[in-house]
Chains A and B, each alone.
Chain A
């Protein structure tokens, strides 16, 4: 459910940058969200299509990437990155310990966008 307010924020940032760049149309937007987030990309796109009607961003394609999770191993101290989809089951690449801890997740961010 919380996709809607987040999508409103995404659209506001996109429109601000589009206006500053004098864009006629926004083609695509690339954004990253945290590995542990429950945000559904499909819903963000649906809300975006709805909210962006009558703006230069209408029908822009959102390319949502899941950011990798920074992990650490409590047994040997090794730090490593785990894929967004697999961090919960991540084992230490050095010693194989299965109790690896999540260190940090990057904030949700709009990386860049393609405009005409």
Chain B
């Protein structure tokens, strides 16, 4: 009878993606371009926040967008209509972006011409959290109508990001959303991540978000 042998492997499953992500950050660093990975569930306000951010930094930061969508160009067209330079990435049915796909999208941009590139990830609180895209910072948006319990249901997402944005605060008056409970849930997972409350519709709170972003852009330069 053949003997069963035990082989030590001790290898990280996502090591190749981590290497590709580090290489991407190095490439971005050569041109001084800051890459932000923006994640949320569908409809939480990723595209709206990008529109608002583009307005706020116009004239001071040159901003381009990588739009990931499973199979549509709706968001890219919406941004182009507002004059925001946008590259469409089709994920071909995949539920997330990894560093290789992000690299393909960045290859379509002249990086030296942009200070900030925002990667609008696929709308989903599960899969995108698992993969390092090569971005310098990652942010999750949670909108008030989704409920304050989401950090309990999607802990990895709220764990992996550098900041959490609460959007649609104009709905707070009509929603059973407990901001203090939400903040505590985020803090248990991710004590260092700031929680930034804003409304893309009214513009409330946007200044603090833009200040945070500017600070992070400066930090990599």
A and B held together in a complex: yes
Binding site for B on A (CB under 8 A): 1-2, 5-6, 9-10, 13-14, 17-18, 21, 23-24, 27, 29, 31, 34, 36-39, 74, 88, 99-102, 105, 107-116
- Chain B residues with CB under 8 Å of A108's CB are 12-14
Comparing B60-68, B91-99, B199-207, the segment that makes contact with chain A is B91-99
A102: which of B7, B126, B189 is its contact (CB, 8 Å)?
A: B189
B127: which of A1, A9, A14, A116 is its contact (CB, 8 Å)?
A: A1
With A2-B130, A108-B14, A115-B5 known, 9 other A-B pairs at CB within 8 A are A1-B126, A5-B98, A9-B16, A17-B7, A39-B130, A74-B191, A102-B155, A102-B190, A113-B9
- Chain B residues with CB under 8 Å of A116's CB are 2-5
In the docked arrangement, what's the CA distance between A2 and B11, Å?
19
In the docked arrangement, what's the CA distance between A38 and B96, Å?
14
In the docked arrangement, what's the CA distance between A103 and B156, Å?
12
* Closest CB in chain B relative to A37 CB, distance in Å: 6
* Closest CB in chain B relative to A102 CB, distance in Å: 5
Whether B30 sits at the interface, judged by CB under 8 Å, is no
Instruction: State the majority secondary structure of interface residues on A.
Output: mixed
Q: Are A13 and B155 in contact (CB under 8 A)?
A: no
Contact with A along B1-35 (1 / 0, CB 8 A): 01111111111111111000000000000000000
**In chain B, what residue has the closest Cβ to A2?**
B127
Whether B175 sits at the interface, judged by CB under 8 Å, is no
In the docked arrangement, what's the CA distance between A17 and B105, Å?
33
B156: which of A37, A99, A107 is its contact (CB, 8 Å)?
A: A37
Some 5 contacts from A to B, beta carbons below 8 A apart, are: A17-B11, A102-B190, A107-B12, A111-B10, A113-B7
In the docked arrangement, what's the CA distance between A1 and B129, Å?
12
Residues of chain B from 76 to 102 with CB closer than 8 A to chain A in the complex: 94-96, 98
A101: which of B5, B17, B131, B188 is its contact (CB, 8 Å)?
A: B188
In the docked arrangement, what's the CA distance between A99 and B8, Å?
38
Q: Are A1 and B155 in contact (CB under 8 A)?
A: no
Whether B184 sits at the interface, judged by CB under 8 Å, is yes
In the docked arrangement, what's the CA distance between A74 and B191, Å?
10
In the docked arrangement, what's the CA distance between A39 and B131, Å?
12
Whether B113 sits at the interface, judged by CB under 8 Å, is no
Q: Which of B6, B95, B96 has the most CB of A within 10 A?
A: B6
- Chain A residues with CB under 8 Å of B96's CB are 1-2
Whether B57 sits at the interface, judged by CB under 8 Å, is no
